[in-house]
């Protein structure tokens, strides 16, 4: 029989009471908006006559028409191709630097480790819009010291993707480094001492002990980075007023923003956002499945 504490709720209900605020917030700010987006994606506006007057525009059920239009939209897939190239640059460079910095900071011979950690992590604390504006002014031909040294238009058609990737790498490396470094600090030092007694150097310890131990954390940071890359919006939107080489549909989320708030087609934007979410899930779970099959030998 369930016992009741004096003056309080049944003891078995205590965990649910602690979870209640999180569940309420999740329902209000996650579940309800997602359900409403799915609802909008199944609707469309029906125009009667010239579309003037009361009742000329009504909301009707559209079925999967909005999804078919989103999947068949060439602008959306062109945006995905641009994001794919951008994402490959960001993922390899950002995670590679994060791993390198984590290994260096965990080295036995590192100096000024605390200062180095703060310096590498600090860009992550800068809001994305502020970081994009900061780098945007450094990219402007009339102001850029980089342009004077390299004589390259950093906002040109052939270089603007690299410039946006640089902003993402600058801001995201510190967070991923901290995740990997924290994992390394939890490893008992006796592992490294035993390896040194066997004659292993720092490079061998890093390659044969530290990186294998870091694999779960590397997988975690990769999944988070893939999701963030698919949802890239801040960098191209902030840099767009500075150049003519970034279109209003440069990334899939920019197309959703244009459809919803510029052209006013909320129903098409809702369907496109659901398609983007589905592709993000497929990429994330597909990556996890490949990792399990190849790295851990699970079917």
* pLDDT (tens digit per residue) in 102-146: 999 988 777 788 888 899 999 999 999 999 999 998 998 888 788
Query: pLDDT (tens digit, 9 = 90+) per residue, 179-215?
Result: 999 999 888 888 888 888 888 888 888 888 899 999 9
Residue 5 has pLDDT above 60, yes or no: no
Mean pLDDT of 20-41: 93
Tokens of 44: 């469309």
pTM of the shown model: 0.84
Do 243 and 7 touch, CB atoms closer than 8 A? no
Listed in sequence order, the DSSP H helices in the chain are 14-26, 32-41, 65-71, 74-105, 113-121, 128-139, 145-150, 160-185, 189-197, 202-205, 211-230, 234-239, 252-257, 266-295
The pLDDT, as a whole number, for residue 6 is 57
CATH of domain 67-295: 1.10.3720.10
Cβ burial 91-100 (10 Å sphere, 16+ → b, else e): bebbbebbbe
Phi, psi for residue 63 in degrees, rounded to 5:
65, -130
Q: Has residue 255 got a pLDDT over 80? A: yes
Span 44-77, pLDDT tens digits: 887 665 556 566 567 788 889 999 999 999 999 9
Q: What is the mean pLDDT of the chain?
A: 87
Q: What is the pLDDT of residues 68-81, one digit of tens each?
A: 999 999 999 999 99
Q: For the chain, give every domain's residue range.
A: 15-63, 67-295
Q: Which residues of 149-186 are buried (b: 16+ CB within 10 A; e: fewer)?
A: eeeebbbeeeebbebbbbbbbbbbbbbbbbbbbebbee
């Amino acid at each position: 029989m369930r016992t009741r504490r004096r003056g309080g709720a049944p003891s078995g209900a205590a965990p649910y009471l602690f979870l209640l605020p999180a569940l309420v917030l999740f329902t209000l700010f996650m579940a309800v908006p997602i359900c409403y987006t799915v609802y909008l994606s199944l609707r469309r506006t029906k125009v009667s006559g010239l579309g003037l007057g009361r009742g000329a525009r009504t909301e009707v059920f559209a079925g999967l028409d909005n999804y078919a239009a989103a999947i068949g939209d060439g602008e959306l897939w062109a945006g995905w191709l641009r994001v794919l190239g951008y994402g490959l640059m960001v993922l390899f460079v950002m995670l590679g630097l994060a791993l390198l910095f984590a290994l260096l900071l965990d080295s036995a011979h590192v100096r000024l480790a605390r200062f180095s950690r703060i310096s590498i992590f600090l860009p992550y604390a800068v809001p994305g819009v502020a970081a994009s504006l900061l780098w945007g002014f450094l990219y402007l031909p009339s102001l850029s010291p980089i342009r004077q040294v390299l004589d390259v238009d950093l906002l040109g058609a052939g270089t603007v993707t690299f410039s946006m990737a640089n902003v993402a790498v600058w801001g995201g490396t510190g967070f991923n480094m901290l995740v990997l470094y924290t994992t390394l600090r939890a490893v008992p030092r006796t592992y490294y001492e035993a390896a040194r007694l066997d004659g292993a150097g720092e490079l061998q310890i890093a390659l044969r002990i530290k990186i294998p131990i870091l694999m779960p954390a590397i997988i975690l940071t990769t999944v988070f980075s893939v999701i963030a890359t698919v949802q890239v919006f801040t960098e191209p939107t902030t840099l767009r007023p500075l150049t003519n080489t970034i279109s209003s549909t440069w990334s899939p989320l920019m197309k959703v923003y244009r459809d919803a708030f510029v052209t006013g087609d909320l129903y098409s934007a809702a369907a496109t956002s659901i398609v983007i979410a589905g592709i993000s899930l497929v990429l994330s779970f597909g990556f996890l499945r490949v990792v399990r099959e190849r790295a851990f030998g699970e079917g």
